Amino acid sequence: MSLAADIVIAVIALLHLWFLVLEMFLWDKPAGLRAFGITREFATQSKVLAANMGLYNGFLAAGLAWGLWLGHAGTTVKLFFLGCVLVAGLYGGLTSSRRVLWIQALPAAVGLALLLAS
């Protein structure tokens, strides 16, 4: 297993853990408002929805961590969860903000490429 692929996957897992924190706990706090460029009013109205999104990001982080924990036997798990991250990033980049393409989709594509090359 490629060390570079595992490092990228670990970074992606940590990013999604951070997204969980932002969406579940900091959504209506200054850090969340800044990160997502939203108003306090919008944050208050959408707090439950954001927490749900955060939970999904937590599942992505957990799946990637599980794949890493399994080592070589976790290759298919890593491929699946990286694919999920890539699809979510592409969808978010097309429907929400182009920034999502750089923050979520690109790292997942790099991770997939490194994993498939190893």
- Banded model confidence at residue 1, pLDDT cuts 50, 70, 90: low
For the segment 55-75, the average pLDDT, to the nearest whole number, is 97
In which domain, by residue range, is 77 found?
Answer: 3-117
Query: pLDDT exceeding 70 applies to what percent of the chain?
Result: 99
Instruction: Give mean pLDDT, residues 50-63.
Output: 97
pTM: 0.91
* Per-residue model confidence (pLDDT) at position 76: 97
* Number of domain units in the chain: 1
Place of tokens 């937590």: 58
pLDDT digit string (tens) for 6-51?
Answer: 999 999 999 999 999 999 999 999 999 999 999 999 999 999 999 9
Instruction: Render pLDDT for 97-108 as a digit per residue (tens, 0 to 9).
Output: 899 999 999 999
SS (HEC) of the chain: CCHHHHHHHHHHHHHHHHHHHHHHCCCCCHHHHHHHCCCHHHHHHCHHHHHHHHHHHHHHHHHHHHHHHHHHHHHHHHHHHHHHHHHHHHHHHHHCCCHHHHHHHHHHHHHHHHHHHC
| Percent residues over pLDDT 90 in the chain | 96
